[in-house]
Chain A
Amino acid sequence: DVKVTQSSRYLVKRTGEKVFLECVQDMDHENMFWYRQDPGLGLRLIYFSYDVKMKEKGDIPEGYSVSREKKERFSLILESASTNQTSMYLCASRPQMNTEAFFGQGTRLTVV
């Protein structure tokens, strides 16, 4: 089975802190994604990566950056956390284009 693991289930950070969310997949997938999920807004794509060191902006990249130094790991970085970044963050991976994606268990981030 595909395993996508996010480093934390729950996280509480202070406004202005730099926050790292880590995601690791164990199936040698080419593509990895970061979404955030908010009530009434659904899942929105922040960034995605189709190869090591490659990244593409999604629909809501402002306030975020990403890093993909190794194929199995995709990190989401909040340079200076703000309260409006309180959300559920979901990492996903998929083997290639036009295939289904597999999700991690999610990180519920609260910024206070």
Chain B
Amino acid sequence: QKEVEQDPGPLSVPEGAIVSLNCTYSNSAFQYFMWYRQYSRKGPELLMYTYSSGNKEDGRFTAQVDKSSKYISLFIRDSQPSDSATYLCAMILGGGADGLTFGKGTHLIIQP
């Protein structure tokens, strides 16, 4: 079973706020996790790639993976209007040829 759940939003927050975006998944065989940002009418852009449970930080972005709970998160600090986009989580089963399985995306709006 390949199923990834992600709240579609929209999620609207004021500029400067901390944003929390989340995905849950049902298949414990997922091993690799990514977050993509997609602006309207553009292709997805890779933000973060993680494998192990725990946190990974890159600038204002922190990716968190909890494999025991089958839950991943992306935190955005000091949010900016330019962060307004759709955020997609994606994951890979691993161990062989396989495409990415995506959540349906969360539409994020940062209000100036």
Contact = CB atoms under 8 A, between A and B. Distances in A.
Interface stretch (B11-19, B39-47, B76-84): B39-47
A31 B97 contact: yes
B102 A42 contact: yes
Contacts of B98: 97
Interface stretch (A11-19, A64-72, A99-107): A99-107
A74 interface: no
Band of interface residues on B: 20 to 34
Interface string A1-29: 00010000000000000000000000000
B97 A101 contact: no
Contact of A103 (B31, B41, B43, B94): B43
Contacts, number: 61
Interface residues of A, number: 27
Nearest to A50: B97
Contacts of A41: 104
Contacts of B102: 42-43
Interface of A: 4, 31, 33, 35, 40-43, 45, 48, 50, 56, 58, 88, 90, 92, 97-106, 108
Interface of B: 8, 31-32, 34, 36, 41-46, 49, 88, 90, 92, 94-100, 102-105
15 contacts: A31-B97, A42-B88, A42-B104, A43-B100, A43-B102, A45-B99, A48-B97, A48-B99, A90-B43, A97-B96, A98-B32, A100-B32, A100-B49, A103-B44, A106-B42
